[in-house]
Amino acid sequence: MAYGGYTYIDKKYVPAKDDFVVLVWASGTVPVEEIAEALAAESSVGTWTKLKTMNEKVFQKLKARVFKIAKTTAKSGLIWIAYPLEHFDVKNIIQFQASVLGNVFGLKELTSMRILDIEFPEKYQKQFPGPFGGIKGIRRYVGTEKSGRPHLGTIVKPKVGLTPREFAAVAYEAYMGGCDFVKDDENLTDQRFCPFRARFEEMMEVIDRVRSETGRKVLYAPNISDRYERMMERLDYIHFHGAPMVMVDVFVVGYSALQEITGEARGKRTFIHAHRAGYAAESRGEFGITFAVHEKFYRMLGVDQLHVGTGVGKMEGSPLYIKRLRDIVALQKLNEKLYLGSLAQEWDAKIKPVMPVASGGVGPGIVDAMLALHGKDVVVQAGGGIHGHPRGTRAGAKAMRQAIDAAVKGIPAPKYAKTHRELAEALKKWKYMPPNTVKKLLAQERKRAKTLRKRALSKGIKEIEKHW
């Protein structure tokens, strides 16, 4: 079987050390082998017909190779494709995406397709800087290297509408209640009711005040997302005033601008808090690219914090899948977990771990369950779960810190609440989620890994999606 007169299937091929491996789910109106041939051809050296200009050197050196297919039906299955490093431009993530994640989605034979994961070779990773600070750098700044406790963050609520002074007043209460980190939300930038510079200046005064009153160093991430020139202007302004962090809506900003921003921020020794607003538009439905793929690009480019979901909050994502997203950014080496549609990945030493951010429907009552899933290297990011506390923002932040402290000590939140008023009030309002379900699920995953893999291979995307 061939596509355009050439064959790209080679089941005896073993990916080379410097190959990329791409895992795809696809179904269509033709046999899955034809789909696989088309995907490999269109994303590398081929097209729909035989070429007079093709030569054997180009074909053998630069073609993509389908080295494995796991059929679910005659016209659907999982496809593994290897790409040679030489096919890709240096430091050019846009060219990589246009090749591997581009025209293939438009093939008329397809009825569904997901790019599930990509394994990036270390030689390719070395072209990129990775995070400026990552987990260790942010901990060093905040002063939690020794304790290793989770960080507590918040989004000022309401997310839009407050004046700069009102915004900063809410942030002050959050910091004084125990927050380490405050950020703008994804849709707050430079509106008339809360101009960027005025808000930033008010926040710098608050941060100085908190340090003066408590001795603590806290972080604020102003949202610089905008046109490229304006992002650079804001980054320069923030750096001039000595602030160490910015926030970028990384998905909607795009990779080209993000690559420039991360490079500039690194030179200014500035952390980047990455918000993922918008990614779900291409990951829900019959076609798309999973967030695991984007995470890897963001880590290579050099964000320091990245939203990965909670696994137990209001946003989509099962505990198993969210843990995998967390591990992709926070660990240096991962084994394949095919039942999650996830390949193995080993990170180069220079590509530091990114601090995961767990956000979306977070309140004190789910902290025990969250930390059972995420561990201690995480930002517990609560908005309504802080500002919705019966006695306001400061009490809400205290309740969240008490829940975190209890979890770190191994004390169930309801027991800890007996001697901590703010936590007790929060649990009364929002209830408590025991961590048992999460712990049981993780234990079952370890025990049933081989069985889960076999089911994924035999049943395809519907089985994989059960764990998402």
Domain boundaries, the chain: 20-125, 134-437
Q: What is the pLDDT of residue 277?
A: 85
> pLDDT at residue 71 above 70?
yes
Residue 345 and residue 118: Cα distance in Å, rounded?
9
Q: What is the pLDDT of residue 6?
A: 77
Question: 134-437 has which fold?
Answer: TIM Barrel (3.20.20)
Q: How much is the pTM?
A: 0.95
Q: Please, is 242 exposed, middle or buried when counting C-beta atoms within 10 Å of its C-beta (0-12, 13-18, 19+)?
A: exposed
> pLDDT at residue 1 above 80?
no
Instruction: Band the pLDDT of 56: cuts 50, 70, 90.
Output: confident
Dihedral of alpha carbons 283, 296, 182, 382, sign: positive
Instruction: Band the pLDDT of 449: cuts 50, 70, 90.
Output: very high
Among candidate residues 68, 75, 151, 157, the one labeled active-site is 157
275 assigned to active site? yes
* Lowest mean per-residue pLDDT among 48-62, 206-220, 450-464: 48-62
* Lowest mean per-residue pLDDT among 37-41, 226-230, 283-287: 283-287
Whether the Cβ atoms of residue 218 and residue 168 lie closer than 8 Å to each other: no
Whether the Cβ atoms of residue 32 and residue 75 lie closer than 8 Å to each other: yes
Q: What is the pLDDT of residue 55?
A: 73
Q: What is the pLDDT of residue 314?
A: 61
Of 70, 63, 65, 81, the residue nearest 32 (C-alpha): 70
Q: Please, is 144 exposed, middle or buried when counting C-beta atoms within 10 Å of its C-beta (0-12, 13-18, 19+)?
A: middle
Q: What is the pLDDT of residue 182?
A: 98
Which percentage of the chain shows pLDDT scores above 70? 98
Kindly state the average pLDDT of the residues 351-370: 95
Among candidate residues 63, 273, 275, 323, the one labeled active-site is 275
421's torsion region: left (phi>0), alpha (psi -120 to 50) or beta? alpha
pLDDT tens, position by position, 227-272: 999 999 999 999 999 999 999 999 999 999 999 999 999 999 999 9
> What is the average pLDDT value for the chain, to the nearest integer?
94
Kindly state the average pLDDT of the residues 387-402: 98
CA 142 to chain centre: 22
> pLDDT at residue 364 above 80?
yes
Of 353, 354, 404, the residue nearest 382 (C-alpha): 404
> pLDDT at residue 346 above 80?
yes
Q: What is the pLDDT of residue 46?
A: 75
Cβ neighbours around 408 below 10 Å, total = 15
Whether the Cβ atoms of residue 362 and residue 344 lie closer than 8 Å to each other: no
Indicate the residue type of 350: K
Instruction: Band the pLDDT of 316: cuts 50, 70, 90.
Output: low
Whether the Cβ atoms of residue 308 and residue 356 lie closer than 8 Å to each other: yes
pLDDT tens, position by position, 145-173: 999 999 999 999 998 999 999 999 999 99
Q: What is the pLDDT of residue 313?
A: 62
> pLDDT at residue 3 above 80?
no
307 assigned to active site? no
What homologous superfamily is domain 20-125 in, according to CATH? RuBisCO large subunit, N-terminal domain (3.30.70.150)
What DSSP line would sit under 271-329, residue for residue? Answer: EEEEE-TTGGGGTSSSEEE-HHHHHHHHHHHT-SEEE---SSSSSS--HHHHHHHHHHH
